[in-house]
Amino acid sequence: MAAYSRSQLLLLLLSSVCLCSFSSVFGLKAASGPAEPPNPPVLRAVDPPLKDAPAAAAAAAAAAGASQPRRATGWKLSEEEACREDLTRLCPKHTWTNNLAVLECLQDRREETEIAPDCNHLLWNYKLNLTTDPKFESVATEVCKSTITEIKECNEEERGRGYLVSCLVDHRGNISEYQCNQYITKMTTIVFSDYRLICGFMDKCKDDINNLHCGSINVGQKDVHSQGEVIACLEKALVREAEQKDQAHPIKEECQRAILRVAELSSDDFHLDRHLYFSCRDDRERFCQNTQAGEGKVYKCLFNHKFEEAMTEKCRDALTTRQKLISQDYRVSYSLAKACKVDLRKQRCSLDTNLPRAREARLSYLLLCLEAAVHRGRTVSGECQGEMLDYRRMLMEDFSLSPEIVLHCRTEIEAHCSGLHRKGRTLHCLMRIGRGDRSTTVDNVCQSALQTLIQSADPGADYRIDRALNEACESVIQTACKHIRNGDPMILSCLMEHLYTDKMVEDCEHRLLELQYFISRDWKLDPILYKKCQGDAARLCHTRGWNETSELMPPGAVFSCLYRHAYRTEEQGRRLSRDCKVEVQRILHQRALEVKLDPELQKRCMTDLGKWCSEKTDTGQELECLQDHLEDLVSACREVVGNLTELESEDIQIDALLIRACEPVAQAHCHDVADNQADTGDLMECLVQNKHQKEMNDKCAVGVTHFQLIQMKDFRFSYKFKMACKEDVLRLCPNIKKKVDVVICLSTTVKNDTLQDAKEQRVSLKCRKQLRVEELEMSEDIRLEPELYDPCKSDISRLCPNVAFGNAQMIECLKEQKKQLSQRCHQRIFRLQEVEMSDPELDYQLMRVCKQMIKRFCTEADARNVLQCLKQNKNSELMDPKCKQMITKRQITQNTDYRLNPVLRKACRADIPKFCQPILNKASDDSELEGQVIACLKLKYADQRLSPDCEDQIRVILQESALDYRLDPQLQRHCTDEISRLCAEEAAAQEQTGQVEECLKVNLLKIKQEACKKEVLNMLKESKADIFVDPVLHTACALDLKHHCAAITPGRGRQMSCLMEALQDKRVRLQPECKKRLQDRIDMWSYAAKVAPAEGFSDLAVQVMTSPSKNYILLMIALSVCILFLVGLLCGRITKRVTRELKDR
């Protein structure tokens, strides 16, 4: 009964693969003449019939095998004295009548010390006689009659030599007849209970067993029944040989094949692996009690519980040995070999003539081949894929199953990863140091072994294969990736998208990057990329076959080829399909998160990373550091960093960290361009333009500014500028690489063409438009203009240490501290101001502060006349106070030097050299004249000697400076102390109504500094020339001017003369305030005339001509001349008469 119940569990067997004939061992055993059982009992009766034919046949064969010439039939093992005690102790009584049941009970239930040696030897001889008896074959012929007919190879075997049974064992996977299957299965359990009974095994492995001390093979000796320990010893030696370089006793190739064949034949039922069966008997009951034997199910169950705490070490070791054999030959796994048999043939995975057969049998080869078929969209059965998944997980969980890892990574494991054996932690430890952390490194051979293992396991297709990753990232997947189907390849992409976010946990981050490092080095390990791009790779990168890589086309080269084609324009040639381009961009976005995920970058830049960026270990800092030191990098690293930066300029979304930081401002201000699939630099341009919006956070601002700074290193890093101006640069600015130099070159060309009124601009229109954008961006941050930034670094740290660079704040600070700047910095700031005044759009602060006022007042004004327009509307009630203050700053700057006022410079281009040449002779090109030229022109204005255009501009300056003393550089320079002493209250009010100037005029007698007094006297002199220059007087006399002088044209002192005449005319009644102010002015002018008399005739003439009493003075001069003339005539006549009288005498 027990034999029958056991036989029902052994229904399905191994796939048929060639093995040496049983007949060889049969012949060997027969020839060797094994000793008969000690004191063999007389067989008293025939075994009772069994309930079924196969079992009955087996029993008959057992009786035949045990029979001797001097014994009767019906011999029972249970009646033998040598085994009676053990039988009574170990086997149920109902099994005693069946020899096979007794044999199975004793060999399955005992340990080596549990059965007496005599019984042990009796059992072995019984089995040996059983397998060598011709009746064994005759029973098989009877039970398997129809099966033998169906199997052609077995039907043709010679009878009587044991070949038939050997053939049936080899083809037992094809036996469909139930009775025959049961019979062959039962006989197999007998054979596998001892290595010496397995066909030909002893012949092939005799020397190896002796060399390795795996046990005795001398049959004639008193031999303890080994129960598979010899085979277990050989299996361990075979595994050890694969894991170690030097072997004192290498196993012969034919013995290696025999060992693997034995493992293959025992793959369906774990009872057949005697060592594993005895090692795992208790664990089977603990973990797999309800798992039926057969089809390798118990093996798989035990494999799944291998790392459980309750698993015994003895069983775990036996399971590991079994798994290592599977990794060497996939056929050792019954379930995998059976499930994938058809698929292997269909996908032609065993037909590569260039590979040795041993490699084709390797588990890794099978997995790689079938994985490639799945990725290419070919049909692989679900059963086979399920088995592949189990064994891929097995490889990831236990590194020791990969002999290459054990062999080549032993040093790294012992040094860094000891004690982390379970759940894939050792493998992840190796992957961590394999990433190339500076503190630890791995050998190239170990690195290659790790890459091969990852390729075989293919965790990119299903993250659950990687148990360490799965456990570490479970919480992240449940929250951030819950919308994705469990096991979907997109889970890894989802995790990468949430890398360095609040949802990511540290342990998951480490495990993810460790895995992604190796996935990024072979494009086939990303199944989505592989699926979408395999056609493009074949079309553009010339990949062929399921294993698309070779020495000429390494895995990394395929992706490099793909991304080179991803950003090509139609004019540049063949491009990627849309689906493939999306996946390539996804990979590029992931690689931007971590330098080590870009194989080419890490390979070429490892030295530079250590040299320049050893302290830059935070997220994204390494690439930024390399970009910052672009000029210092070795050529190979500089090239790859330059190419990546150029790529980012076209598609800034590749920089995932920056895009993540800038999401709020992108959604608020750049949603139109952010949603475009083709970026072409629009998003970065939008971010730059909105860098100072309220949605902009510090991380985004820093990232955008960094990218702007990097763009300065090479004009190719600005995609839109490169595309717009590439031809112009090659034609007009060859051999210039730095963007700032290219911008200066092109701007100078545009400027010269404009000044010379060239018929055709040499710089194309599209380039001129983009050039304007670049110039405006550069004006926002001093660091974007190296020619300005470098000379001013020391001044920045000294004068503006706490000022931000952005928003042109640093530039504004330097402008305000201009007098304290070093000479070089001062010169650069002056040049910058000169450019900004001629083109106010480049004045970032002015355009930012007055943005709304420009829209209100200057929508129709030309861009170069914006400041002029704002100045004209400065005193409007609708003018924003901040903008008004900014306009005043720019006016103060303009009045320091005529060169900073383009309108004045143009209007007075003839007057300046005519009247102010001495000042120009002393001036330098890069420093202000402190208002000296304008002061010179003011004096000539008072003398009414300027040309009309120049006079109009000086009048405007006089009017403006009369309202705000700060607009008169000379006055502010010389009278600062006097203003603080005499007019502090008026200066503090900052009403810009001329009150400070009026205070100085009123306190003229109290002014102590001669230079200041002279400036005030000049103001008085200028006010005589035009009442508009005296805002206090003009305000007081506004009604009187309207009533009495409306017909008088303003300018040249005409309206002032009108008021003076009205003051002297008693018939005219002026407003009291106007009358008082006029009288004060007359007193001031009189004092001025006394204090500062005419220094020459020309000065006197000017004073007379500009005097309000000009007509009176001229009349008096004319009368004086007439009187002198008459006196002269009279004196002449008297002299003539006297002379005549004297002559007459």
Tens of pLDDT along 255-280?
888 888 888 878 888 888 878 888 89
Q: Residue range 816-821: average pLDDT?
A: 90
Q: How many whole angstroms separate alpha carbon 160 and alpha carbon 134?
A: 6
Name which of 222, 246, 249 is nearest 233 in CA terms: 249
Each residue's pLDDT tens digit, 584-634: 988 888 888 888 888 888 888 888 888 888 887 777 788 888 988 898 999
Q: How many whole angstroms separate alpha carbon 822 and alpha carbon 1103?
A: 43
Each residue's pLDDT tens digit, 527-568: 899 888 888 888 888 776 545 444 456 667 788 888 888 877
- Tell whether the model's pLDDT for residue 812 goes beyond 90: yes
Q: What pLDDT does residue 166 have?
A: 65
Q: What pLDDT does residue 199 have?
A: 56
Q: Which residue has the tokens 């020619």?
A: 787
CA dihedral 625, 631, 632, 638 (to 10 degrees): 80
Cβ proximity of 224 and 120 under 8 Å? yes
Q: What pLDDT does residue 49 have?
A: 35
Q: What pLDDT does residue 435 have?
A: 81
Selection from 340-354, 682-696, 790-804 with the highest mean pLDDT: 790-804
Q: What angle do CA 646, 650, 654 make, to 5 degrees?
A: 85
Q: How many whole angstroms separate alpha carbon 371 and alpha carbon 357?
A: 20
Q: What pLDDT does residue 317 have?
A: 92
Cβ proximity of 11 and 294 under 8 Å? yes
Each residue's pLDDT tens digit, 26-43: 232 333 333 333 333 333
Comparing 693 with 170, the larger pLDDT belongs to: 693
Q: Structure tokens of 572?
A: 């540049």
Share of the chain above pLDDT 90, in %: 19
Each residue's pLDDT tens digit, 428-476: 988 888 886 545 677 888 988 999 899 889 999 999 999 899 999 999 9
Q: Residue range 274-299: average pLDDT?
A: 88
Query: What Cα–Cα distance (Å) separates residue 729 from each residue in 270, 680, 722?
Result: 76, 19, 9
Q: What is the CA radius of gyration of the chain?
A: 52
- Tell whether the model's pLDDT for residue 1025 goes beyond 80: no
Cβ proximity of 418 and 387 under 8 Å? no
Which one-letter amino acid corresponds to residue 163? Y
Each residue's pLDDT tens digit, 2-16: 333 333 322 222 222
Each residue's pLDDT tens digit, 1051-1095: 777 888 888 888 888 888 888 899 888 888 888 888 777 765 555
Burial of 947 (0-12, 13-18, 19+ CB in 10 A): middle
- Tell whether the model's pLDDT for residue 133 goes beyond 70: no
Cβ proximity of 938 and 906 under 8 Å? no
φ/ψ of 200, rounded to 5, equals 70, 0
Q: How many whole angstroms separate alpha carbon 103 and alpha carbon 386?
A: 37
Give the number of other Cβ atoms within 10 Å of residue 482's Cβ. Answer: 10
Q: Quick one: CA dihedral 1042, 1046, 1052, 1053, positive or negative?
A: negative
Give the number of other Cβ atoms within 10 Å of residue 1050's Cβ. Answer: 14
Buried b (16+ CB within 10 A) or exposed e, 452-477: bbbbbbbbbbbbbbbbbbbebbeebb
- Tell whether the model's pLDDT for residue 71 goes beyond 50: no
Q: How many whole angstroms separate alpha carbon 464 and alpha carbon 486?
A: 9
Q: Which residue has the tokens 């995932």?
A: 656
Each residue's pLDDT tens digit, 945-964: 889 899 889 888 888 888 88
Which band of pLDDT confidence, cut at 50, 70 and 90, is reported for residue 375?
confident
Mean pLDDT of the chain: 80
Q: Which residue has the tokens 């072995």?
A: 124
Which one-letter amino acid corresponds to residue 235? E
Least confident stretch, 241-250, 510-519, 745-754: 241-250
Query: What Cα–Cα distance (Å) separates residue 890 from each residue in 812, 814, 833, 865, 874?
Result: 11, 14, 9, 13, 12
Which band of pLDDT confidence, cut at 50, 70 and 90, is reported for residue 1107?
low
Cβ proximity of 526 and 488 under 8 Å? no
Q: How many CA atoms lie within 13 A of 664 on its CB side?
A: 12
The answer, as to whether pTM is greater than 0.85, is no
Q: What pLDDT does residue 13 have?
A: 27
Q: Residue range 373-401: average pLDDT?
A: 89
Which residues fall within 8 angstroms of residue 62, CB to CB, at 6 or more apart?
47, 99, 100, 103, 126, 130
